[in-house]
Copies of this chain bind each other. A is one copy, B any other.
Amino acid sequence: MSRTKHMRIIPLGGLGEIGKNMTVFEIGTDALILDTGIMFPNNDMHGVDYIIPDFNYLLDRKDLKIHGILFTHGHEDHIGAVHHVVEKFPGVPLYATRLTAGLIELKLTDASIRDVNIKIIQAGNRFEIGPFKIEPFHMCHSIPDCLGFAFDTPFGLIVHTGDYKFDNTPVDGRRPDYARLASYGQRGVKLLMADSTNADREGWTPSESTIEPAFERVFKEAKGRILVATFASLISRIQQVASVAARTGRRMVINGHTMREYVKMARQMGYLDIPDNMVLDPGKIASVEPHKLVMMVTGSQGEPSAVLSKIATGRHRYLEVQAGDTIVLSSHPIPGNEESVYRTINRLIQRGAHVVYHPIEDVHVSGHASREEMRLMIHLTQPKWIMPVHGEVRHLRLHGRLAMEAGIPESNVIMVENGTVIEVDKHNIRKGERVPGGYVFVDGSGVGDIGRAVIHDREILARDGFFLVSVSVNRKTGEVVKGPEVISRGFVYLREADGLIEQVKDTVQQVLKHGHHHNGTRQNALEESISKLLYNETRRRPMVFSIINDV
């Protein structure tokens, strides 16, 4: 047992959301990581593929012994960065439920990482790692085999909800473990770390099962094929579609690489109950009558490279909209994706499909608790302190206010940002130092090699493009002897800008004639004059470059 007088909790990473993708728990020099997720970039983070937590803090703390990585559930924002973390901390064991472990293994295999030590854990089965006594408990969300964690520490009982909703009729029949949460409350919870995602929604999030009647209705009314778009990792949703398909006599086709992999794995493990004779190979679609078919596809967020977008723009290899097709988007647009989602819907309609989406039909529910559930969570666990996590600043703030209304004093509501160190001692909880808790861009094969500066350049290039002149001048007279040659993209349509190019040529000759002696000032003067000319003529500010060859 460590003799340290307090433990530390540090939310790391996450874009916009706080305490979501990765959290560190430390007792002295012993540490645990909770989740290793990714986020998707904002619209103005040009060219970024995805974002991982900045865990340089952990790399710098050479004295820390990291005993393990715990996972709450198998969604991308909780497991998606696992290969990046495992690469840096080889040998650290992972702890996950069976389904979560299966999804993690798929991800590690894709990244060609082998021989990782994954230990299967189960809700209700207490275990110890180093000085940490851990009690995973079952929670409901939109994927099976979800966990929350209780940490029984020398400084008190700390409960982390993970992503959750109190779903009383979950798709897999496994109800929330109210009794265990209540037992924590009776033992005395020092700190509750709780999901804030829906802190702006009053009431109680509808159960996953409430959407089945809508699916039944859609399936019965559809005279042709049905396509259902959702996240590959929404395993519960895929089960629901399969169940309704079975009842309405449709065979099921799984499209998209990731969705096929996930479904295969979840079926093998028994988390998806789809009989073999219901599953149809994508190659055999033509052999089945349209009204006997339902196809799962990816792309419910309008992602251009996913199946649904390809169908909407006529770019899919073998799928195209047919008369009589019904297309269901079983999802909500993630903020920032509305434009591409609605554009995809419009295009599908224009191609002749009947498109069903929320709010036209209740074909999607959130996987996160609403305010009444948040109140219940507080009353069950009766925490002395609360730390809202999972959500943007605005959600955490609302969750904090709700906690105060529920009786927790303002001083015991801990509002953090990513990188805030929370110190928990026997008597108190307080904010400590700040450590780097931001995020790292992943672009192509580069991790962290583009930062704010490169993104800023991309922003300028996106807005106004660039303009480059290359010119050879007589070293002595300053007379232009060759060029100027112009290379420009993203600025104006050059072929229709003859007049402007002529003006640029005049400017180049004039500036170079007025002999500046140092190359630096001469180049600056040239670029400034060209910038000014372009702005005056077009009110745009492309990046301007020049190459001057003295001959």
Q: Name the distance in Å between A54's Cβ and chain B's nearest Cβ.
A: 16
Q: Does A539 contact B (CB under 8 A)?
A: yes
Q: How many angstroms from the CA of A513 to the CA of B426 in the assembled complex?
A: 73
Complex: A493 Cα to B454 Cα, angstroms: 6
CA distance A31 to B200 in the complex (A): 50
Question: Could you tell me which A residues sit within 8 Å of B by CB distance?
Answer: 16, 42-44, 46-47, 200-201, 335-336, 338-339, 342-343, 345-346, 349-350, 355, 359-360, 392-394, 397-398, 443-446, 449-451, 453-454, 457-466, 468, 470, 472, 482, 485, 487, 489-493, 496-497, 537-540, 543, 545, 547, 549, 551
| CA gap between A472 and B470 in the complex, in Å | 12
Option from B394, B463, B547 in Cβ contact (under 8 Å) with A46: B463
CB contacts (< 8 Å) of A538 on chain B: these are: 444-446, 449
Given A16-B343, A339-B336: A493 touches B43 (CB 8 Å cut-off) = no
Please judge, given known A-B contacts A47-B463, A339-B335, A540-B444, whether A457 and B355 are in contact too, CB under 8 Å.
no
CB of B540 within 8 A of CB of A16, answer: no
A201 to B358, CA, bound (A): 11
Copy total for this chain: 2
Given that A444-B540, A547-B470, A547-B547 are contacting pairs, would A493 and B346 also be in contact in the complex, using a CB cutoff of 8 Å? no
Q: How far is the CB of A461 from chain B (nearest CB, A)?
A: 4
Residues of B within 8 A of A463 (CB): 46-47, 458
Chain B residue at minimal CB-CB distance from A464:
B47
Q: A495: shortest Cβ distance to chain B, in Å?
A: 10
A537 to B443 CA separation, bound complex (whole angstroms): 12
How far is B349's CA from A393's CA once the two chains are assembled, in angstroms? Answer: 7
Chain A interface, DSSP helix/strand/loop, else mixed: mixed
Decide: B472 and A466 in contact? CB cutoff 8 A: no
Q: Are A200 and B335 neighbours in the complex by a CB distance under 8 Å?
A: no
Q: Give me 5 A-to-B residue pairs in the complex whose CB atoms sit less than 8 angstroms apart, sorted by A's number.
A: A43-B43, A46-B463, A200-B360, A346-B393, A459-B462
CB-based contact B451/A42 at 8 Å: no
Pairwise interchain contact B492-A450, C-beta atoms closer than 8 A: yes
Please report the C-alpha to C-alpha distance between residue A181 and residue B446 in the assembled complex, in whole angstroms.
63
Given A394-B355, A454-B492, A492-B450, residue A462 in contact with residue B46 (CB < 8 A)? yes
Among B47, B343, B345, B490, contact of A457 (Cβ-Cβ < 8 Å): B490
Q: Give CA–CA (A346, B14) in the complex, Å.
A: 14
A539 to B446, CA, bound (A): 8
- Whether A493 contacts B450 in the complex (CB less than 8 A), given A338-B338, A461-B466, A466-B466, comes out as yes
Task: Check B346–A394 contact: CB distance below 8 A.
Answer: yes
The reply to whether A349 and B397 form a contact with Cβ atoms under 8 Å apart is yes
Bound Cα distance A170, B201 (Å): 29
**Interchain nearest-CB distance for A81 vs B (Å):** 17
Q: Which residues of B contact A394 (CB under 8 A)?
A: 342, 345-346, 349, 355
- Among A339, A465, A490, A491, the most chain B Cβ lie within 10 Å of the Cβ of A490
